[in-house]
Amino acid sequence: MIPAQFSYRRVSTVEEALSVLGEHCDEAQVLAGGHSLLPLMKLRFATPEILVDVAPLAELRYVRVEDGTVAIGALSRYHDLHHDEVLRRHAPLLAHVSGSVGDQQVRHRGTIGGSLAHADAAADLPAALLASGGSLVVRGPGGQREIPAGEFFLGPFTTPLEPDELITEIRVPDAAGTGWGFEKFTRRAIDWAIVGVAVLGQSVGLINMGGTPLRATATERALASGASIEDAAALAADDASPLTEPHASAEYRSHLARVLTARALTAAAA
């Protein structure tokens, strides 16, 4: 498939990116790793008139730890995050999950900011960010704002991002020493999750169990009131609304969520 015609701006600073986005607003779209946007453009589900290529912005590619918070530049690529020693120590769930996204090619191009902005319920990082109690730093013409992950995923592929805003940073509390677990059930190793579960401590994020990435709130409440892992995991699908589609029925997905939650919680508690 061939995308609709578009023009292309490769920017070299965040300020330049914001200025081009502000100038063209609804007609412009940010291009990061391109691994979700370009397929959508080829299918003509996305038809931006101007692509603002932010990939050169090395200033948005970093991992830092300061005052109990881990800050990750939005253009950090999965491959780099997976191998980053600081992230592995202070946010091991995010580092691990970054290594499970797609295949080598996807991991060398795809970015954490792109994954979150795309807001696909089947993606891995959004659920891991929810379980991590993280937030997103966003810059736009009105300045900077910080959006908790729990308020970011509004619906399928829908976020509160304005067209002239750029995610610049992802923040999570330092999780060094906190137990975590991640389970991703796929047909083939490189596939998207049929269902996935990300656990940090007693927080549980669910992948592909509804229209948005979700928290398994019934499970979390049960754990907080002292339930066993087995009893709490049995509630993992209670607040979810999984789809039935050719790869899996809603019932099968709910079953997977319970089984995978028990496994991820057990790993986190070990």
If binding is defined by CB under 6 A, does position 36 make contact with ligand FAD? yes
Say if CB 168 and CB 14 are below 8 A apart.
yes
Measured CA to CA, the distance from residue 225 to residue 202 in angstroms comes to 11
If binding is defined by CB under 6 A, does position 110 make contact with ligand FAD? yes
Say if CB 172 and CB 136 are below 8 A apart.
no
- Which residue in 34, 133, 173, 211 binds ligand FAD (CB under 6 A)? 34
- Which residue in 30, 127, 229, 265 binds ligand FAD (CB under 6 A)? 30
Closer to ligand FAD by Cβ: residue 39 or 56: 39
Residue 143's region, left for phi above 0, alpha for psi from -120 to 50, else beta, is left
For the record, the structure tokens of 60 come out as 């948005």
Question: Shortest CA distance to 156 belongs to which of 132, 186, 122?
Answer: 122
Task: Please state, in angstroms and as integers, the Cα–Cα distance from residue 177 to each residue in 62, 90, 269, following that order.
Answer: 22, 8, 11
Closer to ligand FAD by Cβ: residue 137 or 232: 137
Task: Please state, in angstroms and as integers, the Cα–Cα distance from residue 166 to each residue in 75, 78, 113, 138, 200, following that order.
Answer: 11, 19, 9, 6, 27
- Which residue in 3, 22, 102, 211 binds ligand FAD (CB under 6 A)? 102
Residue 105's φ and ψ, nearest 5 degrees, are -65, -45
Rounded least distance, CB 270 to ligand FAD, Å? 25
Closer to ligand FAD by Cβ: residue 84 or 124: 124
Measured CA to CA, the distance from residue 116 to residue 168 in angstroms comes to 11
Say if CB 101 and CB 108 are below 8 A apart.
no
- Which residue in 98, 115, 178, 212 binds ligand FAD (CB under 6 A)? 115
x-or-dash string of contact with ligand FAD, 203-222, rule CB under 6 A:
--------------------
Rounded least distance, CB 229 to ligand FAD, Å? 26
Rounded least distance, CB 83 to ligand FAD, Å? 17
Closer to ligand FAD by Cβ: residue 35 or 96: 35
If binding is defined by CB under 6 A, does position 167 make contact with ligand FAD? yes
Rounded least distance, CB 226 to ligand FAD, Å? 33
Residues in the site for ligand FAD, rule: CB under 6 A? 29-37, 39, 74, 101-102, 106, 110-111, 113-115, 117-118, 123-125, 161, 166-167, 192
